[in-house]
Structure 1
Amino acid sequence: MSAKPNSLVTHLSPPPIPSVHAWSRDYKGDRGPLIDLSQAVPGYPAHPAMLKLLGEAAASPAMTGYGPIEGEDVLRSTYALHMNEVYETSVHSANIHITAGCNQAFMCAAIALAGAGDTIALTNPFYFNHDTTLSMLGIKRTLVQCDAAHGFLPDLASAERALAAGAKAIAIVTPNNPTGAIYPAALLHELFALCRHHNAWLILDETYRDFLPEDYGRPHGLLSEPGWEETLVLLYSFSKSFCIPGHRLGAITAGPRLIEEIAKIMDNMQICAPRSAQVAVAAAIPLLADWRAGNRQEIGRRAQALRRVMADLPGWEIGALGAYFAFIRHPFSDLSSSSVAERLAKQAGVVSIPGSYFGKGQEQFLRLAFANAETASISLLGERLR
């Protein structure tokens, strides 16, 4: 009898992005170039100044050693100042912990807030890496329902039931992955109040925060709530805004007491996030502000291009759309979302993610990461989906 690996890992499905890319290998190219709307990656290159900063930092001998577990002081302080500008509040470097990407930020937060056998609530649909992270940690998952008829916003009654049943935290993503739905500030405040009432945590993943509509204003006022540190954990990724997903850099904003706990986790997981990228991003935050604002406008144009395409497609409907993603209802009621996505990849050269990858009840939907594609490519989707 042979030894067996951890069953909490072996029962998981293979990583989803490679599986949909495999379908596209059968595309013959007869409809034109492949349009990849699967993984959320910046659809334009990093700024030359960003590349220069990365190169200079990577060439420094000082960056070859271990750094502070919580992150480089220069990035923690610079990002705290940036947070204060975005949220019109006052956080400090002691509230910031730098991680190797936002997926790691979520894993650190989950470990810090719940143990094996505890429960964390996710939305349905959910970001699949949040679900698999909880599964491999032995943390139970319960779901907060998001009704398609209401733009996939979390249902407060469902959230109340999850917390009343003992969930240690509710984890949400806004702007949302996979749907693109933007959760209004008032709704976030109600979820925060519910979590506070039940002595639970609100984990708020804001990976796509920098791609809110141009005139949106501050995302919410939760960081101005007295005692927010006892209820709220914010997650962020530098990958999309600075076009550096390969450098793996994210951030956690929380109370200093929780930051201390997360440092224990990071010391065992990675010791410190990539150092040269931290130094480079600290310089790029003020330097590339105008460039990032221009990219925000460009993503808005791509969103409008997709809206125009969908308006002319009988049977196809937008469930939700915002920031990087659109959750699109397909018209083939007799087919699974995997079947539709596979056919689109193989026959039409459009790579998307089946709705079923994001939870039960999502078979009629596909996720399109429209920010990956230029508006010219998005305009081709009408004929391809038809």
Structure 2
Amino acid sequence: MRNPINAKVREIKPSGIRRFFDIANEIPGVISLGVGEPDFDTPWIVRDEGMYTLQKGRTFYTANAGLAELREEICRYLERRYDLHYSPEDETVVTVGGSEAIDLALRAMLDPGDEVVYAEPCYVSYLPCIVLADGVPVAIPLQEKNQFRLTKEELEAAITPKTKVLILSYPNNPTGAVMTKEDLEAIAEVVIANDLFVITDEIYSELSYNGHHVSIAALPGMKERTVYINGFSKGYAMTGWRLGYATAPPIIMEQMIKIHQFAIMAAPTTSQYAGIVALRNCDDNVAEMRESYNQRRRYLMKILKDLELPCFVPYGAFYIFPNITEFGLTSEEFATRLVQEEKVAVVPGSAFGESGEGFIRISYAYSIEELKEAFEHIKSFIERLRAEKKSNQ
């Protein structure tokens, strides 16, 4: 019998996050600090709209690109929040979460052999989506000393004649790093000089704690080179609604919608109506969630300082990325022992690419009480590791 599995798919490794949490789920009583999901409920006004939509029988397909009303609201939101100017008619598509938008953009833009450079550590979907779109992934290992920001020099060193696309993701998962306007201007200069295109994944844009978020798509000369991706999962606590969107120049968007049309048809109708209400009415809810995350971020940074566990200061998303190299364990060994010995689950940095080795990702999308309990266990674990190391010297 012939092998029924596609060779590209066969070679793709399962998510390192999922694999680790399959292990953690087998241990009863685990405190999890690993899930990249808000601990807030979706704002009530949004949930109410979802229920009202179902009661009114609005359960039919929408246009492939999404409800016109939602696309218009998305464009208004992007203009007022990030000075981005897009047409709802031919530059916007509503997707099943931001992850679908990443897949659409890559499949619409890549020919076999085109190289895609991306900064690592990074979201786990980028590499497999590049491979599935017949692209060649080229990881740029970022440096802790640069606060995991992509530099102009690092990008220039990775570019070859086959490079076509750069993927950016700031605020970043897993590091919490952000890029300033000046950082992005330097990157844009390289992109334009080398005639590249950019996919910018800004799903955490509402969770920035050090000034206003800036998109590379808003910089001069970049809109026509950029696919902008965002969604409702993180800022609006709507992960299960599976609602995202992308904006792009018409020449790219036409092809993205074509793929979306045949693969997905349209995003969930109920979610789309709920998304309209979120964009129109939930700025205050987003601000409250952002402030709560910021308080937790500052709380954890103080704890890490007391523990003398090195960690650069993250200014975005809801993750910290401490350095655990002092213990002489791989990130997976550290995370495995932590969950086995103290029943606290974190994510090994290696799950986000080779350059994540030596770090662990800790989510602070949990209450202060939960964080306090978990870090009492982490403190005991670290003290035990340091005692072991000292006794072995």
TM-score, scaled to structure 2: 0.90
Q: Does 1:175 align with 2:168?
A: no
Q: 1:361 to 1:48 in 2, by over 3 A?
A: closer
Q: Which residue in 2 is equivalent to 1:56? A: 52
Name the count of aligned residue pairs: 377
Q: Which residue in 1 is equivalent to 2:281? A: 287
Q: Which residue in 1 is equivalent to 2:189? A: 193
Structure 2 CA distance, aligned partners of 1:2 and 1:178? 40
In 1, are the aligned partners of 2:206 and 2:213 still within 8 Å (CA)?
no
Q: 1:7 to 1:246 in 2, by over 3 A?
A: same
Structure 2 CA distance, aligned partners of 1:285 and 1:379? 33
In 1, are the aligned partners of 2:115 and 2:137 still within 8 Å (CA)?
yes
Q: Which residue in 1 is equivalent to 2:262? A: 268
Q: Which residue in 1 is equivalent to 2:310? A: 317
Question: Offset at 1:383?
Answer: 2.2
Structure 2 CA distance, aligned partners of 1:124 and 1:172? 10
| Residue 373 of structure 1, aligned match among 342, 345, 366 | 366
Q: 1:26 to 1:276 in 2, by over 3 A?
A: closer
Paired letter, 1:183: M
Q: Which residue in 1 is equivalent to 2:68? A: 73
Q: Which residue in 1 is equivalent to 2:118? A: 122
SS for the counterpart of 1:379 is: helix
SS for the counterpart of 1:241 is: coil
In 1, are the aligned partners of 2:15 and 2:351 still within 8 Å (CA)?
no
Question: Offset at 1:46?
Answer: 1.4
Matches within 5 A, 1:123-272: 123-213=119-209, 216-220=211-215, 222-223=217-218, 225=220, 227-272=221-266
Question: Offset at 1:333?
Answer: 4.0
Structure 2 CA distance, aligned partners of 1:212 and 1:179? 13
Identical pairs, percent: 23
Q: Which residue in 2 is equivalent to 1:11? A: 11
Residues 31-63 of structure 1 deviation map (CA, whole Å, 9 limit, x = unaligned):
xxx332222111121122221111112333343
Structure 1 CA distance, aligned partners of 2:15 and 2:350? 14
Residues 284-336 of structure 1 deviation map (CA, whole Å, 9 limit, x = unaligned):
2121211111111111111111111111113x211452321111111454211
Q: Mean alpha-carbon deviation: is it higher for 127-136 or for 316-325?
A: 316-325
In 2, are the aligned partners of 1:177 and 1:325 still within 8 Å (CA)?
yes
Structure 1 CA distance, aligned partners of 2:349 and 2:262? 35
SS for the counterpart of 1:168 is: strand
Matches within 5 A, 1:28-39: 28-29=28-29, 34-39=30-35
Q: Which residue in 2 is equivalent to 1:23? A: 23
The answer for unaligned runs of 5 or more in structure 2 is: 380-393
Structure 1 CA distance, aligned partners of 2:353 and 2:17? 16
Structure 1 CA distance, aligned partners of 2:180 and 2:374? 30
The answer for unaligned runs of 5 or more in structure 1 is: none
In 1, are the aligned partners of 2:118 and 2:167 still within 8 Å (CA)?
yes
Structure 1 CA distance, aligned partners of 2:84 and 2:241? 29
| Residue 83 of structure 1, aligned match among 71, 75, 78 | 78
Structure 1 CA distance, aligned partners of 2:3 and 2:23? 34
Superposed CA RMSD? 1.9
Q: 1:295 to 1:88 in 2, by over 3 A?
A: same
Structure 2 CA distance, aligned partners of 1:150 and 1:224? 22
Q: Which residue in 1 is equivalent to 2:387? A: none
Structure 2 CA distance, aligned partners of 1:295 and 1:78? 21
Paired letter, 2:176: G
Structure 2 CA distance, aligned partners of 1:144 and 1:59? 49
SS for the counterpart of 2:235 is: helix
Q: Does 1:93 align with 2:88?
A: yes
Q: 1:289 to 1:298 in 2, by over 3 A?
A: same
Structure 2 CA distance, aligned partners of 1:193 and 1:87? 20
Structure 1 CA distance, aligned partners of 2:158 and 2:246? 24
Structure 1 CA distance, aligned partners of 2:173 and 2:213? 20
Question: Offset at 1:26?
Answer: 4.6
Question: Offset at 1:224?
Answer: 5.2
Paired letter, 2:139: L
| Residue 350 of structure 2, aligned match among 341, 345, 356 | 356
SS for the counterpart of 1:154 is: coil
Q: Does 1:383 align with 2:376?
A: yes
Question: Offset at 1:218?
Answer: 4.3
